[in-house]
Amino acid sequence: MTNNAPLLELREISYSYPGQNSPLLQNVNFKTDNEQIGVIGPNGSGKTTLFQIIMGLLQADDGKILLHGNTLETDKDFFRLRCTLGFLFQDSNDQLFSPTVLEDVAFGPLNHGATPREAREISILTLEKLGLKGFEERITHRLSGGEKKLVALATILSMTPKMLLLDEPSNNLDPTTRDRLITILREQELPHIIISHDLDFLASTCTRLFTMHNGQLLPCEEKELHSHEHVHPYGHKPHQHGT
């Protein structure tokens, strides 16, 4: 363990899916510590694949992943990483699998050694923090897309991660839920990496921007993140978005 080591580091990560002629990811080098990073890049450029490699859901052909300076090698190492990094899937249906919201949110804490009572308490608190009080017994698969996204976020926050990896979190959200998600992420004050095509969302939640280009993750220092004022029929009067 190196004390000054970054929380997460990728060294020379390369990856091809079977049958691909040229590598999708080619010698990706990246490190991050206490930062809020946005990642942009065309569809199919390998952003989701990179997240899956970091989380140990896919195995890189080459290269190393380091957590706090320690190279991850065994299943146990990746289990430890999954206690540290919370991964929000691009599609919430891939993340939610229990009949009720409470069971889904309690699954992580239970899996990481909490007692049923502790898992229930932390789940109720997490749902409350996300404005989902009263959702405990709701049937997960009947929730709206936006509700599913927030419940999926609750399933990772209930594990008290040190960093979040969010894959296109604002996709298909109505403006109210999108604003709520921005507020939640700002309040969490956790380091995160957010993949998104929504530049205003990234400007509201991130301080550095990277792009996935030709199989590499490159900083876009020349692009300054800034949010835009938006225009709509309600003018300057106080109003609710999405109404």
Ligand X SMILES: Nc1ncnc2c1ncn2[C@@H]1O[C@H](COP(=O)(O)OP(=O)(O)O)[C@@H](O)[C@H]1O
Residues within the interface to ligand X (CB under 6 A): 17, 24, 41, 43-49
> Which residues, 6+ apart, have CB-to-CB distance to 106 below 8 Å?
116, 119, 120, 122, 123, 158
In the complex with Mg ion, the residue whose CB is nearer, 32 or 48, is: 48
Work out how close the CB of 42 gets to ligand X at its nearest, in angstroms, rounded to a whole number. 7
**Which H or E run includes 131?**
none
Q: How far is the CB of 49 from ligand X (least distance, A)?
A: 3
Strand ranges of the sheet holding 36-40, from the earlier edge strand across to the other edge = 85-88, 163-167, 192-195, 36-40, 208-213, 216-219
- Token pair of 84 as six digits: 């540290």
Separation CA 205–CA 90 (nearest Å): 17
Q: Where are the beta strands (DSSP E) in 72-197?
A: 85-88, 163-167, 192-195
- Nearer Cβ to ligand X (161/215): 215
> Would you say 48 or 123 has its CB closer to Mg ion?
48
Distance from C-alpha of 130 to C-alpha of 112, rounded to nearest angstrom? 22
Distance (Å, whole) CA 93 – CA 35: 28
Q: How far is the CB of 76 from ligand X (least distance, A)?
A: 25
C-alpha–C-alpha distance, residues 170 and 76, integer Å: 32
Nearer to ligand X, 46 or 56 (CB): 46
Q: Are 78 and 72 in contact (CB under 8 A)?
A: yes
Binding site for Mg ion (CB under 5 A): 48
Comparison of 32 and 45: residue with beta carbon closer to ligand X? 45
Question: Which of Mg ion, ligand X, none does residue 148 bind (CB under 5 to 8 Å by kind)?
Answer: none
Closest CB 90 distance from Mg ion, rounded Å: 5
Q: CA–CA distance from 116 to each of 101, 113, 136, 150, 152 (Å)?
A: 15, 9, 15, 22, 20
Query: Alpha-carbon distance 123 to 93, whole Å?
Result: 19
CB of 197 to ligand X, least distance (A): 10
In the complex, the smallest distance separating the C-beta of residue 51 from ligand X, rounded to whole angstroms, is 8
200 C-beta neighbours (distance < 10 Å), count: 16
Q: In the bound complex, what is the minimum distance in angstroms from residue 172's beta carbon to ligand X?
A: 15
